[in-house]
Every structure is written in C-alpha cells, then in structure tokens.
Amino acid sequence: MTYVRSQFRHPALPKNDLGYTVDYYEGSLSTLCAGCGHDSISAAVAQACFELNIEPHKVAKLSGIGCSSKTPAYFLNNSHGFNSVHGRMPSVATGANLANRDLVYRGVSGDGDTASIGMGQFVHVIRRNLNMVYIVMNNGCYGFTKGQDSATADTGSKNKSGHVNLFEAIDLTSLSIELGATFVAQSFSGDKEQLIPLIKAAMSHPGFAFLNVISPCVTFNNNAGSTKSYDYVREHQEATATFDFVPIEKEIRTSYEEGSVQNLTMHDGSVIQLHKLAKDWDPLDRLSAMNAMLKAKAKDEILTGLIYLNSDSQDLHDLIRTSDRPLNSLLQTELCPGSEILDGINNSFR
C-alpha cells in the first residue's frame, strides 16, 4: 500500500461530455488493505459516474460503519457525503431524499451493517421504494472488527481462524426481491465489465436499486474453505447474461445475433441490453427471478447480473405525491396553507 499519490495526469487523458477526466470522480487515497474487494467497487463507482457524465455535486454518498462504509471517502471527492451510524444509513438517506429529491443518492453498506444491526432499516427502505442505489459490499464477515462471521456467511463456510459457520446465510438478494425491491442485481468486485454497467443502470432506475456485490476480505476471509474468497467466487460465478447499458442519448449498436438480445427500456429511455445465458429466467418476472436464485443456490452457484427489474417502479415521492420541486427549496409562504385551510383540515377530523 502506498500513501503517496502522484498528482501527474497524462494530458491526453480522455474527458467526458462535461469536460472532466476520471480523476475528478476519485476520492482520497484508500487506507483499506491492499487487494480488498471494496477498493475495486469504489473504482467502478467512479468510472460509472464518469461515463454517465454525472455532476459530482449532484450526488450524495451515504454509509454506515465498517471498512465498506469507509469507501465513500475513496470516490467522488466533489460530492456530498454522510458517514452515519452502524446500520442506520437508510433512515439518513430517506430524510435527505425527502428534503431534496434532486440529488442522486448512493448508499454503501457492508453485510454486517445491513444484514444484522441494520436489517430493520434495510427492509423498510425497500418497501418504501426510496429512489437510491444501495450497494452492499458483501464479504461474509465483519472485516472492520477483525473478521467475525456475518449473517451472510454460508453454512459450512470456514473463516481464517478455522471456525465453520453452522447457521443458514441470509440471502440479501432474494430477500430484497421478496420485499418488493424494483431493481435487483448481483455482482463480484473482480468483474468490472459486469459491475460498471450494472451501477450505471442502477443509477438510472427511478426507485430502490439494490446491488449485492461479493467483495472478498483478503485479510480475514480469503482462505480455502471460505465461500467469499476470490478463488471460490471465480469458480462458482454464473452470469445470467452479458450486459450492456445504453444511455438515453446513445444509439443502440449490438454485435449479438438477432433474437438473442433482450432490450429492457428504462423509465428515462435508456436501455439495458441483455444477452441472456440463463434459460427459464425472465428478469421482468418476480417469480422467475426468485426461482433462478433458488435454483442457483441448490447448485452452489452464485448468480450474477441483473436479476430482477420492475419497469413500472413508482418511488416514494410518487407514492406520497410530494411536490416536484425539492422540499428544501420551498418557501414558508408556499408550505403554509394558511389558518383557514388548516382549520378546515382539523374540522374534517372531528
């Protein structure tokens, strides 16, 4: 690990449509262990925002506590950020999003942060369909507190200290489909070809977009016998489809054979192109997505790619019919209906 980052940038570094180079989307130098999967996910987030021409000041990064929750410091230095309390990122995200719907909300959490202390908050943010991207950097352990098994550790998985986990794993991906998440994907930190377009699609989704990313902890859970090690995931990863994300203004060009591609048009007109590999699976059908997850589990496979998309998603603002203008920009005169109308409302409850 090096603590010195060169300030030199090649003058021919490509610029995006806003005139920024990718380093404008980077953050501080990471202090995570060299080889930690979380650093690859941070790099993928920066690359996705660069390619999508996102203005960093239009993004809010939120997290809980853990090595994973430290990562927002390592991408998008020019964005808003809030490193909250262990497991409590969803409620902070909900408050921020309700106050200002004009930002892109990106939550980062760990499997400990989400599947144990934060489980109550996680399930409720899903049912409310908050418009945010929620990334779990899933290493099956509590990296930050020295590698104890987390609730996503698979039954029979062995950690570095030789302890074998006896308990059933919580499968966050299946759980989020069950609870009504409207965009659900699964990926691996070592597969940036798949991860970057998935992050881009998640950011274009109007509603709760969940990304469960297996992200090996090289220090505490990368040993033989672990089911969240680099070797195990590479051997058991089973992609549902190869995946392209075509933003709204770009022309769709495909090199796939006709008939083998499924185009999923998103709310804003951008398109997800799926070249399907998995048979008997329809990403627009919740039951089919659940079945695909169960079948993969029975075969010890880790299904990756876009698992489920609800293209009719209505986010929390749509559901509770808030104003199109962000609430934090409304004046008191616009917010207060006046005592006559308030009296009428009060009388209607009598």
Ligand X SMILES: Cc1ncc(C[n+]2csc(CCOP(=O)(O)OP(=O)(O)O)c2C)c(N)n1
Binding residue for ligand X (CB under 6 A) from 25, 134, 142, 245? 142
Whether 76 contacts 108, CB under 8 Å? no
Q: Which of 122, 220, 245, 281 binds ligand SF4 (CB under 6 A)?
A: 220
Q: Please list, residue by residue across 4-41, b when 16 or more beta carbons sit within 10 angstroms of its beta carbon and e when fewer do.
A: eeeeeeeeeeeebeeebbbebbbbeebebeeebbbbbb
Nearer to ligand X, 143 or 207 (CB): 143
67: contact with ligand X by CB under 6 A: yes
Q: Which stretch binds ligand X (CB under 6 A): 3-11, 45-53, 107-115, 334-342?
A: 107-115
Written as one string, the DSSP assignment of 239-302 is: ESEEEEEE-TTSPP---SPTTSEEEEE-TTS-EEEEEE-SSS--TT-HHHHHHHHHHHHHTT-E
Q: How far is the CB of 28 from ligand X (least distance, A)?
A: 17
Nearest to 144 by CA among 83, 67, 73, 74: 67
Q: State which of residues 80, 86, 163, 192 lies at the interface with ligand X (CB under 6 A).
A: 86
Judged by CB under 6 A, the residue of 26, 51, 111, 171 near ligand X is: 111
The yes or no reply on residue 41 touching ligand X (CB under 6 A) is no
- Do 153 and 159 contact (CB within 8 A), yes or no? yes
For residue 47, what are its two tokens? 């690359």
CB 101 within 8 A of CB 322: yes
Size of site (CB under 6 A) for ligand X: 19
What character string, x for contact with ligand SF4 (CB under 6 A) and - otherwise, covers 48-67? -------------------x
Q: Could you say whether residue 135 binds ligand SF4 (CB under 6 A)?
A: no
Q: Residue 110 or 207: which CB sits closer to ligand X?
A: 110
Return the number of the residue (32 or 266) whose C-beta is nearest ligand SF4. Answer: 32
C-alpha atoms less than 13 angstroms from C-alpha of 215 in its C-beta half-sphere: 33
Rounded Cα distance between 246 and 263, Å, is: 10
Q: What would the DSSP string read from start to end of 98-118?
A: HH-TTSEEEEEEEHHIIIIIT
Q: Which residue is nearest to ligand SF4 (CB)?
A: 143
Spatial distance between the Cα atoms of 296 and 239, rounded to a whole number of angstroms: 11
Smaller CB separation from ligand X, 68 or 189: 68
> What does 220 bind: ligand SF4, ligand X, none (CB cut-off 5 to 8 Å by kind)?
ligand SF4
Residue 27 interacts with ligand SF4 (CB under 6 A)? no
170 interacts with ligand SF4 by CB under 6 A = no
Q: For the CA atoms of the chain, what is the radius of gyration?
A: 21
Shortest spacing between CB 142 and ligand SF4, in angstroms: 9
Strand partners, 136: 109, 212
**Of residues 150 and 229, the one with the C-beta less far from ligand X:** 150
* Residue with smaller CB distance to ligand X, 27 or 110: 110
- Summarize as ranges the residues that interact with ligand SF4 (CB under 6 A): 32-33, 36, 38, 67, 139, 143-144, 217-220
- Summarize as ranges the residues that interact with ligand X (CB under 6 A): 65-68, 86, 110-113, 117, 137, 139, 141-145, 150, 217
